[in-house]
């Protein structure tokens, strides 16, 4: 890391965390209340770094406020809490729309034909260092009871996944043994979810995870933090892999669902 960034981060660590930011986190990020006081301090330091280094852009008439910046940063930094390393080194900007946005998509058809359609999206994560989010969907997470879904966690899991240059459901791991265990457990669970989807059998993991391995990793990351006890009960091997990767055990925390 260039020296100028090291100095900036040291300066940030000495600055008090704004009281108004704490209120925003308590309002929009329930997981914060489950952390120890030491973990809350650690998360606050990560949030300060994130907000100093990443650029927020409002689209569709949305004005970026502290509520938007701090809420998104807090959810994103939950994934980094005990992992160490850099603060999403490849990420440059977060683009926020007021509501779901339209994207022109090409759909292949028979005989090599291509059909262009407009699709509604709530979020995207790009390899070039951009995350796109719908603020209405981010806020909806607080309005509904605890579920398995969290848009910010989903899109930032994609950012972790592609830190090795490929978004394939296998983020950078510590060693070869870790990759072996990861591939075995997640491969088996992914195949099981795809089979359930083909048989129209309902399971506890969101069927969107059967789209491809990258979406599977993002979906189970949401589940791991939003409803950890359910994931641990029904998919203990999967839970253990995520526990090792994120170096957290959400199911053991108070109110761990």
Q: What is the pLDDT of residue 23?
A: 97
Q: Which CATH class is domain 168-257?
A: alpha beta
Structure tokens, 254:
């108070």
Q: Using alpha carbons only, give the angle 106, 112, 116 rounded to the nearest 5 degrees.
A: 20
**Among the listed residues 136, 102, 104, the one whose alpha carbon sits nearest the alpha carbon of residue 120:** 102
Q: What is the CATH number of domain 1-147?
A: 1.10.472.150
User: What is the side-by-side strand order in the sheet with 93-97?
Assistant: 55-58, 93-97, 130-134, 123-126
Helix (H, G, I), strand (E, B) or coil at 103: strand
Task: With a cut of 90, say whether residue 54 has pLDDT above it.
Answer: yes
Q: What is the pLDDT of residue 194?
A: 96
Length of the chain: 257
Mean pLDDT, the chain, integer: 91
Q: What is the pLDDT of residue 37?
A: 96
Alpha-carbon distance 47 to 245, whole Å? 20
Average pLDDT over residues 32-41: 96
- Model-level pTM? 0.91
Instruction: Give residue limits of the domains in the chain.
Output: 1-147, 168-257
Fold match flag (1-147 vs 168-257):
no
Task: With a cut of 70, say whether residue 133 has pLDDT above it.
Answer: yes
């Amino acid at each position: 890391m260039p020296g100028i960034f090291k100095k900036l981060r040291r300066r940030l660590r000495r600055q008090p965390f704004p009281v108004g930011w704490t209120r925003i986190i308590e309002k929009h990020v329930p997981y914060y209340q489950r952390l120890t006081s030491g973990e809350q301090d650690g998360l606050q330091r990560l949030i300060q770094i994130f907000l100093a280094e990443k650029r927020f852009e409002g689209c569709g008439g949305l004005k970026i406020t502290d509520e938007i910046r701090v809420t998104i940063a807090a959810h994103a930094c939950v994934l980094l809490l005990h992992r160490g390393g850099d603060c999403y080194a490849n990420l440059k900007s977060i683009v926020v729309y007021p509501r779901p946005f339209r994207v022109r998509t090409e759909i292949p058809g028979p005989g090599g034909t291509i059909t262009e359609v407009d699709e509604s999206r709530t979020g995207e994560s790009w390899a070039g260092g951009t995350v796109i989010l719908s603020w209405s969907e981010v806020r909806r997470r607080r309005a509904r009871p605890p579920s398995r879904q969290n848009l910010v966690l989903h899109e930032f899991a994609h950012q972790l996944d592609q830190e090795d240059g490929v978004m394939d459901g296998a983020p950078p791991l510590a060693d070869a043994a870790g990759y072996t265990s990861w591939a075995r457990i997640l491969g088996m669970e992914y195949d099981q979810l795809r089979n359930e989807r083909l048989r129209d059998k309902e399971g506890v993991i969101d069927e969107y995870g059967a789209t491809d391995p990258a979406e599977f990793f993002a979906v189970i990351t949401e589940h791991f933090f939003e409803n950890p006890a359910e994931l641990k009960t029904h998919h203990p091997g999967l839970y253990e892999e995520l526990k090792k990767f994120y170096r957290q055990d959400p199911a053991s925390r108070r109110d761990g669902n």
